[in-house]
Chains A and B, each alone.
Chain A
Amino acid sequence: MSFYVVQFLSGLASAAALFLVASGLSIIFGVTRIVNFAHGAFYMLGAYVAFSLTERLSGTLGFWGGIVLAAVVVALIGVLVEMLLLRRIYRSPELFQLLATFGLTLMVEDLAVLIWGPDDLLGRRAPGLRGAFDFFGQAIPTYDVLLMVLGPVVLGALWLLFHRTRWGVLVRAATQDRDMVAALGVNQKWLFTSVFALGVFLAALGGALQIPRDAVNHTMDLRIIVDVFVVVVIGGLGSITGAFVAAVLVSELNAFGILIFPKISIILVFLVMAAVLIVRPWGLFGKPEAAARQTPGLAVQPWRPLSTQARLAFIGVLVLAAALPLLGSNYALIVGAEIAIFVIFAVSLHFMMSVGGMASFGHAAYFGLGAYGVAFLAKLAGLPMIACLLLGPLLGLFGAIIFGWFSVQLSGVYFAMLTLAFAQIVWSIAFQWVDVTGGDNGILGVWPAALVATPARFYWLSLAITALSVVVLRVLVFSPFGYALRATRDSGLRSEAVGINSKRIQWTAFVIAGTFAALAGALFAYLKGSVFPDNAGIALSVDSLVMVLLGGVETVSGAVVGAIVYKALSIWLVSYTELSKLVMGGVIVLLVVMFPKGIVGTFDSLIESGKLSFLKRGSSRATQTEGAE
């Protein structure tokens, strides 16, 4: 019995850090409406800085001073980030904000490795709190008791701050209606900056307080951010009480899940989250999200099917691409096949994101499911390649049917976070279910059939499937279904009023996109000859988003161009620099701030505004909405 009590108390101690980070995220979202993906990075920075400071400062005062000072230092970094980056994107669509802050996370990861090295760092124990209480024969670390107390104390302090100070009243007012607060003459800029600083301070404090409990390393950020997303989704974005209750709930689920259902401990939390979302789509303590704002600044030209010239150009490019084996080396062919596969992946995301308005942050889940589907069929069932390629993606299809049903109940940031969480479930299963998936070692030896075993033939196969997928998805965009999907994105009110069942349309689109992503994953498994949990990882999900964004969200063919450019660039980067995350993160941030329309979108606007009018004269229909491809 006492063992369970101790387990419960240990869960409470873990809840403290989760609550600190989640409340920070919630406060920032409440006022600025930005879901700060970089919150995990600030948490990690807090831990690193606290490690360095407590190593240098001695004594009890030095330790606690170091912890607090670390949080302050990181909060100041947060202020810089807010002033330099976030202020430029407050009015951007939420997807761009998520991406920009993710780019920041990537950069911080590489910077942390540069400064503190790649190895785990073990911090000092808290002076005076090294011991443990004896609880009926079970030991409870004294430090844990401190953390248990800290959670409610911070909750109380935040309550006082928000209800008893002028600043707090302003923050609460801005949470309800920031335009009205601005109209009343409050300086929005500094209100936002101070709120961001507080949120980052809380995250960094949460990280700093972890050093006596846990090793510091450069993967802390993504681990915590997924948990925090789960917490705020369960508790309700914008609610501090919700963050507290959900942090305790999630921590206890983790603490007891490992005892009671060790096999599914990782996904237990996600199951609970899914259950909460069905009953209360905006979380336990959250309020329904206000109607989504129209995305300003992205003037949209109606999409048109390709003209005859453009179709010919597409075929021409395809023929050129098919001629690559005559010129290129084997390496070029392998790279070419990989790029082709990522074109399918990007185009599938584009279909649900640009056409359907559903920005998934977990599209890699279906890519990964397709890859594992193939690996299971090939290795366990021993099916031939053609059967695997046809049946493997079905795993992605089933995954998309289940996850998609839940996801389309939500929209906006909640949708993004839920899809991310589902992708983490897939990743966790691949990682944890070692008997079947091989865990971190993956499944090796998934080789293509002899007929397509040479690089040239595999390249042709990939190219053919890619061309077919692009054409099919393009036909879908202009089909009645594609228009109905776009109608649900443009105006939910109007589409319901003309008899369109929005949820069912979106669900179908989700499943279609997931299946094509799975097809890409299936090909990828054969290209690499192996399958790993990372095939469903966050990094890959974000890759797909960046590809679509790079090409241009508001264009039909942007995803194709974006995938080619991005993939080529990233393959090149990885081979030329150690700091690929830093560069890639920088590219993402720049892209969001400077070129929100992407390559094809920018090109289109130039033509529209007459700066490239010489292109317009020849084939006005073709160039009106997109380039040749």
Chain B
Amino acid sequence: MSTAAALLAVDGLTKSYGGVHAVRGVSFTLAAGEILALIGPNGAGKSTCFDMLNGQRKPDRGRVQLLGKDITGQPPRRVWRLGVGRTFQITATFPTMTVRENVQVALVSHANQIFNLWRSTPDFQRDAADRLLALVGVEGYAERPCGELAYGDLKRLELAIALANEPKLLLMDEPTAGMAPRDRIELMRLTARIAREQSIGVLFTEHDMDVVFEHADRILVLNRGTLIAEGSPEQVRRDPQVRAIYLGEGLVYDARHQEGAGA
């Protein structure tokens, strides 16, 4: 990856909680239009790493640059204004609003109209909101209370909200967690299509390896806070260290596995 074109450049990111080193010196880059997956077993530091990218947590050391601009430790709202959309592992939406209004709030914010005391929000950029809803395929629910949506649709709505500020970078923390298998594949295909069409860089964490290997251009593997592998899906699939982590290098697991295979 050429660093000149880097949309996101992360350098030596480090975070500890007390004595636990959650993330240790993670560095990588992400180009515009590239889909990058961050994988690793539970407790590898994926979420911590993620939260440091958009300012949810402050890193102890290291730097995060967006298009060459240092955004380390900036609060999430600033990072968003620079063109970073975010979805959460457990969806965060506005349950007392309709589906369309959820998107309209993001549009209002994007238009710097938050302190507007006069206009009517339900009429604010209605068409733009509906376009975003149609893009993610929930246009049929525009008038429904957001609290009523099924979880898969909430995930889609979150994507629509994240796209409202025409982001250059999407950060998606386990975008398909808690979804039915078919919905997972649909949502990721949709995300990949939008990212390619609009040349948005996507960084996502994921446990579902089907999703990861189908869509990622490149994969980062994190274990115990350290990056242990990086490369194309094919390279990562063959990496002995990665195989050890995912298939188990521990003797107990291995033994049981063989036992099971034998029986």
Q: Which residues of A contact B (CB under 8 A)?
A: 294, 299-305, 475-476, 478-484, 486-487, 489-491, 493-501, 505, 508
Contacts and interface: CB of A to CB of B under 8 A. Distances in A.
B21 interface: no
A484 B109 CA distance: 8
Contacts of A486: 94, 96-97
Interface stretch (B74-82, B188-196, B251-259): B74-82
Given A476-B117, A479-B116, A499 B110 contact: yes
Nearest to A492: B92
Nearest to A354: B96
Residue from the set A475, A484, A494, A497 with the largest chain B CB neighbour count within 10 Å:
A497
A508 B164 contact: no
Given A480-B108, A505-B114, A497 B54 contact: yes
Given A475-B117, A481-B116, 15 more contacts: A300-B95, A302-B145, A478-B121, A483-B104, A484-B108, A486-B94, A490-B95, A493-B88, A496-B77, A497-B92, A498-B110, A498-B161, A499-B77, A499-B81, A505-B114
Contacts of B115: 480-481, 508
Nearest to A485: B114
B109 A499 contact: yes
B260 to A, nearest CB: 32
B94 A487 contact: yes
Interface in B98-122: 98, 101, 104-106, 108-110, 113-122
Interface in B109-158: 109-110, 113-122, 124, 145-147
Nearest to A300: B96
Nearest to B99: A302
Residue from the set A478, A484, A486, A499 with the largest chain B CB neighbour count within 10 Å:
A499
A484 B114 contact: yes
A299 B118 CA distance: 28
B165 interface: yes
Nearest to B96: A300
A353 to B, nearest CB: 14
Interface residues of B, number: 40
Contact of B96 (A302, A479, A493, A500): A302
B188 to A, nearest CB: 21
Interface of B: 54, 75-78, 80-81, 86, 88, 92-98, 101, 104-106, 108-110, 113-122, 124, 145-147, 161, 164-165
A499 B101 contact: no
Residue from the set A305, A479, A486 with the largest chain B CB neighbour count within 10 Å:
A479
Contacts of A489: 96
Contact of B109 (A300, A305, A493, A500): A500
B122 A478 contact: yes
Nearest to B88: A493
Given A302-B97, A498-B80, A484 B122 contact: no
A300 B122 contact: no
B172 to A, nearest CB: 12
B121 A498 contact: no
Contacts of B119: 479-480
B99 to A, nearest CB: 9
A306 to B, nearest CB: 12
Contacts of A476: 117
A497 B109 CA distance: 10
Contacts of A299: 147
Contacts of B81: 499
B94 A490 contact: yes
6 contacts: A300-B145, A479-B121, A484-B108, A484-B109, A486-B97, A494-B92
Contact of B145 (A301, A478, A479, A481): A301
Nearest to B91: A494
Given A475-B118, A478-B120, A483 B105 contact: yes
Contacts of B110: 498-499
Contacts of A478: 120-122
B201 to A, nearest CB: 17
B20 to A, nearest CB: 19
Given A499-B80, A500-B109, A490 B97 contact: yes
Residue from the set A305, A487, A491, A498 with the largest chain B CB neighbour count within 10 Å:
A498
A304 B92 contact: no
A498 B84 CA distance: 9
A508 B114 CA distance: 11
Contact of B76 (A300, A482, A496): A496
Nearest to A477: B121
B116 A497 contact: no
B177 to A, nearest CB: 16
Contact of B114 (A294, A481, A490, A493): A481
Contact of A493 (B92, B117, B146, B165): B92
A491 B93 contact: yes
Contacts of A304: 122
B165 A499 contact: yes
A47 B145 CA distance: 52
Nearest to A486: B96
Contacts of B88: 493-494, 497
A303 B109 contact: no
A304 to B, nearest CB: 7
Given A302-B145, A486-B97, A494-B94, A480 B124 contact: yes
A300 B97 CA distance: 9
Residue from the set A300, A476, A483 with the largest chain B CB neighbour count within 10 Å:
A483
A506 to B, nearest CB: 12
Nearest to B94: A490
A498 B164 contact: yes
A294 B92 CA distance: 12
Contacts of B117: 475-476, 479-481
Contact of B80 (A481, A490, A497): A497
A302 B97 CA distance: 5
A304 B119 CA distance: 14
B37 to A, nearest CB: 21
A605 to B, nearest CB: 14
Contacts of B105: 483-484, 487, 495, 498, 500
Contacts of B106: 498-499
B118 A491 contact: no
A72 to B, nearest CB: 44
Contacts of A303: 96
A505 B122 CA distance: 19
Nearest to B109: A499
Nearest to B124: A480
A-B pairs, 8 with minimum CB distance: A494-B92, A490-B94, A480-B116, A480-B108, A499-B80, A498-B106, A483-B121, A499-B109
Nearest to A357: B96
Nearest to B75: A496
Nearest to A489: B96
Contacts of B165: 498-499
Residue from the set B106, B109, B114 with the largest chain A CB neighbour count within 10 Å:
B114
A154 B98 CA distance: 54
B77 A501 contact: yes
